[in-house]
Structure 1
C-alpha cells in the first residue's frame, strides 16, 4: 500500500496552486493523508477528486466550512498499522512523550502545523511523521512532502521529497 503524506498546503494563502509533483503523487498513492491547514475548500475538493482514498483533518487556519467537513483527529487502520492524523502536537521539546501518552493505541501519527519535516520514534514505538509543507517552506531549505509504503504491518520506504523552488 502506497501512502502520500502532506500538510499545510495553504492554497491560496501561500501558493496559488499545488505543485504538479505533489498532484502526481496523490494520484499514484493508494491513500493520501493531509494533516490540516488546507485553507480553502477547493483544495479539499481537489484531493477528494484525485485520491483513491483520503484521510484528512482540519488545521488552525481552516475555517468553519472545512471544519464542518473534516475531523480534528482522524484514525485509520492501513495495512495492519494503526494510524492517527492531527494538525498540532505542540512544541518540539517533549513531542514524543506527549504524543505517546495522548495516542497510546497508535503505531503511526502524522501531524503538521510547524512546516518542519519530522521523523522520529517515541519510546514504546509510536512513529511520528510531519511531511512539512509543499507550498510554504518557512525557514526550511525546501518545500516537502512524504511518501511511504505499508506492507505486512510495517511502515517502509519512508521518503521525504524536496520540491523545486517555485518560480
Structure 2
C-alpha cells in the first residue's frame, strides 16, 4: 500500500497549484493524507479527485475546512495505527505537542505539519513524520512531500523537488 503524505499546502497562494510531480504520485497512491493548512475547500476537493483522502485542519484553516475534516484523526491501515494532527499550538515545540496529542493512544506513526520542515525520527517506538510543504517551502531549498509504504512493515521517505512546474 502506498500513502502520499502532504501538509501546509497554503493554496491558492500567488496563483500556485499542486505541482505535477505530486499530482502524478497521488494518481498512483492508495491513500492521500493531508496534515493541515489546506487554506481553501477547493484544495480539499482537488486532492479528493485523486482517490481516498484523510486529513485534519491546521491553524490557517477556516470554518469551511473545519466542516470537512477533524482537528485530529486516527487511522487503522493494514495493521498499523496512524495518528494525524497539524501540530499548532502555544508553548512547547511542535514535536512535543504532537507527541502529547497521542500520549494516551498506542500509535505507530504520528503525521503532522505546521513547521514546513521535513522530519523523520522515532520517539521510543513511534515514528514522527512531517512531510514538509509541497508548495510553501519558505526558506528551505526544496519543496517536499512524504510517502509511506506499508508491506509487512511501514516505510517512510521524503521526496524533494525544486520547481512547482
TM-score (norm 2): 0.90
Q: What 5-or-longer segments of structure 1 have no aligned partner?
A: none
Q: Output the aligned Cα RMSD.
A: 1.9
Q: Deviations over 1:55-114 (max 9, x none)?
A: 111111111111111100011111110001110156785836x54443142110100011
**Which SS does the other structure have where 1:165 is aligned?**
coil
Structure 2 CA distance for aligned equivalents of residues 6 and 34 of structure 1: 5
TM-score (norm 1): 0.89
Structure 2 CA distance for aligned equivalents of residues 54 and 76 of structure 1: 11
* 1:38 counterpart residue number: 38
Does the 8 Å contact 1:84/1:110 carry over to 2? Answer: yes
* 1:161 counterpart residue number: 159
**Which SS does the other structure have where 1:24 is aligned?**
helix
Q: What 5-or-longer segments of structure 2 have no aligned partner?
A: none
Give the CA deviation at 1:165.
2.4
Runs of 4+ in 1 over 6 A off after TM superposition: none
Number of positions where the alignment pairs a residue of Structure 1 with one of Structure 2: 162
**Which SS does the other structure have where 2:42 is aligned?**
helix
* 2:58 counterpart residue number: 59
Give the CA deviation at 1:14.
5.2
Give the CA deviation at 1:49.
1.2
Distance 1:118 1:14, change over 3 A: farther
Structure 1 CA distance for aligned equivalents of residues 131 and 94 of structure 2: 19
* 2:117 counterpart residue number: 116
Does the 8 Å contact 1:14/1:135 carry over to 2? Answer: no
Distance 1:99 1:61, change over 3 A: closer
